[in-house]
A and B are shown apart, each in its own frame.
Chain A
């Protein structure tokens, strides 16, 4: 099966920038997504990027896409305590016509005061 890889933990100090990295395998993915999950909650769509873009910025969030290396990153500027959550990178399931998403294992962002 296809894999989406992420590191499991990232610890940053409040006010610093957080960079969460992801590698994906399906080069035909048209969209790549970032979701945020707070404890006990569902998934919140944070942002997504078209595969023909290199970068997308939305307020404190910047997404960078390197198609050649199949590498996606999410940068959160001025990280706040409310950013503490698990961040999932996702691509559309490449399994022939399926609409489902394949998620990475998630990166747990820990904010130090």
Chain B
């Protein structure tokens, strides 16, 4: 069982909808991450939060908006997504730096 919990597990939305993905960890980790994984591809980094501050944004379109309300929670707000945004969205956390990152099971997102 993963110690990083992501909800929902599956999400289907239209291109005009607004939805949010949620991620939670209670391991005291201070760094949290969003990755996007397309089918048959490796995960690609989207955002990094360190001590609740956005430290990395890997040129992600503004239709993806991350939020870190506190050290245990990470959200990804979605608006006006495109069909090519359909993917598995993975959240991870770590103590920071180069120590291992622990991943959740992901949210499988389908855009109609």
Q: Are A43 and B45 in contact (CB under 8 A)?
A: no
Interface residue ranges, B against A (CB under 8 Å): 2, 4, 6, 31, 33, 35, 41-43, 45, 48, 50, 55-56, 58, 88, 90, 92, 94, 96-106, 108
Q: Which residues of B contact A105 (CB under 8 A)?
A: 41-42
Q: Are A99 and B103 in contact (CB under 8 A)?
A: no
Q: Are B48 and A44 in contact (CB under 8 A)?
A: no
Q: Are A100 and B58 in contact (CB under 8 A)?
A: yes
Q: Are A101 and B56 in contact (CB under 8 A)?
A: no
Chain A count of residues within 8 A CB distance of the other chain: 25
Q: What mask results when residues 67 to 110 of chain A are scored 1 for a CB within 8 Å of chain B, else 0?
A: 00000000000000000000010001100011111111110000
Which residue of chain A has the shortest Cβ distance to B43 in the bound complex? A103
Q: Are B56 and A88 in contact (CB under 8 A)?
A: no
Interface residue ranges, A against B (CB under 8 Å): 29-31, 33, 35, 40-45, 48, 88, 92-93, 97-106
Q: Which residues of A contact B98 (CB under 8 A)?
A: 29-31, 92, 99
